[in-house]
Structure 1
């Protein structure tokens, strides 16, 4: 029987998930409240054959902590991550030791796509601006517009981009995309920038796409365009975007982030930041947990599955 170390509290798993983990091997969990203590994670993992590592909750320390945990876990042969990516994992080191690495499936597609629709509707009606003015006791209501028939540009090729195109089409928007999505017209990225009243970005947050919306591309945006970016702040040059917002060339820029402190977008009313919660729904978090558990089971040689939501 495999020794499985779950570096996450038992209380965070549903009863069905716990049952499947129990069938996979001898399972130990980190004590609730100690999941952010490296020494405790090392202690739990040191005798493990399989480690379930919560890279998402550990955040910026994930690479450093994981390296130390693996160094002190000589028997580990399987690593199950609770993230859709593994860029914080030393792939060469794992390959040398014969450690198989599994990531969770993309559990946020529907949640993020629906969130984009919320932002499209809210920005079109200027709901966010009017609401924030109310809280500041300077309510100056502005009329918005209806999105039916408006041209939406979808930049990106992933499943979330495709789902956004489908949902926007269902709301009678005229959808253009860089890929051949059902119900969408195809156009080049530059064509989308120049002609879209509303633009949503779904590009991988990679070095190649850093500042995809740079000064040149921002200058080509359709006048008074609304830009939505849930792909990562690095994709947009915030200094150039701030200039476009202040001049009125861009109507609104909506994005997720932790803080606007020292950002060029700070104190710009039409730069609308939300905390990163677009992918967090009851359904998406359950899909993530199910995928994590399935990967642990598969690494232990026990085939497992859950009913789809």
Structure 2
């Protein structure tokens, strides 16, 4: 019997034919996202009818979407963060949820450091000014000898920490489940969240967006940070209170921010767009050819295994 699979990510199969071939070999009928963007809940409700499985990106898989997917048996996240999926409700309906941990870890870790370098050395600003006919030489910060704070030491956080060590930085880490064996091997140190905020020159966020991490960086936490600190976020936008961040950046509470994710995407009228001490990218941390290939193949494998089980 043919299984109908809804595939929502726009990059799925674009640079690698293998994931689509895997679905076809398994006898699946593939339904693609026709909108060329992340779909709304209403659009997902229309698309999910009659499908057996979903390979989903950032599109919402809410209670309403699940209820409209009467034959839905599995959802495979094309990526790591699952905050767009109502996992508890899906589980209550017997729908299996998987994701692709590790598939994009190197890509996101490299992007976090790229953002940090751009913020520290004013790379984006200098590029922009040259194109405007200006020749300005802004003094920046070196990374060597500084302290990097890593919030969340899952696969991405660990890769950022290890790369920071390669750039001759000291590394402090905070995680609710510290791994002393890894810390000793990587020559990094765990500490309390407040100590990390107070001692780090740069702070990079690598936690999932759940109830306890929503706005975990707000006015109180920003006030604890060094005045020359730079905050990097390649995780999820809701981890930072953006209004509090704007206040901190405009009142010299911290020196800068480098953001790949935002509470509302795509970014439209955020006041952060008007600040020179913010570097922004459009949630592209995981968008390398290698990561997209890894995510696509792993997402299909997970989905087919879930449907077979």
TM-score bracket for the superposition, by shorter chain length: 0.7 to 0.9
d(CA) in 2 for partners of 1:63 and 1:123? 36
Q: Is the 8 A contact 2:87 2:97 kept in 1?
A: no
Does residue 6 (structure 1) correspond to residue 5 (structure 2)? The answer is yes
- CA displacement at 1:252 relative to structure 2: 1.0
Moved more, 293-302 or 230-239: 293-302
Does residue 41 (structure 1) correspond to residue 51 (structure 2)? The answer is no
Instruction: Report how many residues are paired.
Output: 289
What does 1:241-252 correspond to in 2, within 5 Å? Answer: 241-252=245-256
Does residue 195 (structure 1) correspond to residue 199 (structure 2)? The answer is yes
Q: Is the 8 A contact 1:238 1:264 kept in 2?
A: no
Q: Is the 8 A contact 1:17 1:293 kept in 2?
A: yes
TM-superposition CA deviations, 1:18-61 (whole Å, max 9, x none): 4433443x22122674786668735xx62x6x42x13315x24x
Q: 1:290 to 1:197 in 2, by over 3 A?
A: same
d(CA) in 2 for partners of 1:30 and 1:55? 12
- CA displacement at 1:171 relative to structure 2: 1.2
Q: How much is the aligned-residue C-alpha RMSD, in angstroms?
A: 3.1
Does residue 274 (structure 1) correspond to residue 281 (structure 2)? The answer is yes
Q: Counterpart of 1:177?
A: 173
- CA displacement at 1:280 relative to structure 2: 0.8
Moved more, 161-170 or 220-229: 220-229
Moved more, 265-274 or 126-135: 126-135
Q: 1:166 to 1:137 in 2, by over 3 A?
A: same
Is there any run of 5+ residues in structure 1 with no aligned partner, and where? 303-309
Q: Counterpart of 2:211?
A: 207
Q: Alignment partner for residue 263 of structure 1, among 267, 270, 276?
A: 270
| Larger Rg, first or second structure (1 or 2) | 1
Q: Is the 8 A contact 2:173 2:189 kept in 1?
A: yes
Partner-residue secondary structure (3-state), 2:212: coil
Partner-residue secondary structure (3-state), 2:195: helix
TM-superposition CA deviations, 1:212-267 (whole Å, max 9, x none): 22222211111211111122222222233223222323111111234554434342
d(CA) in 1 for partners of 2:248 and 2:76? 43
Q: Is the 8 A contact 2:55 2:303 kept in 1?
A: no
Q: Counterpart of 2:23?
A: 21
Is there any run of 5+ residues in structure 2 with no aligned partner, and where? none
Q: 1:214 to 1:290 in 2, by over 3 A?
A: same
The TM-score with structure 2 as length reference comes to 0.80
Q: Counterpart of 1:307?
A: none
d(CA) in 2 for partners of 1:30 and 1:83? 19
Partner-residue secondary structure (3-state), 1:114: helix
Partner-residue secondary structure (3-state), 2:205: strand
Q: Counterpart of 2:297?
A: 290
- CA displacement at 1:147 relative to structure 2: 1.3
Q: Is the 8 A contact 2:55 2:299 kept in 1?
A: no
Q: Which has the higher contact order (CA 8 A, sep 6+)?
A: 2
d(CA) in 2 for partners of 1:38 and 1:196? 42
TM-superposition CA deviations, 1:186-219 (whole Å, max 9, x none): 2222112112111111122122122222222211
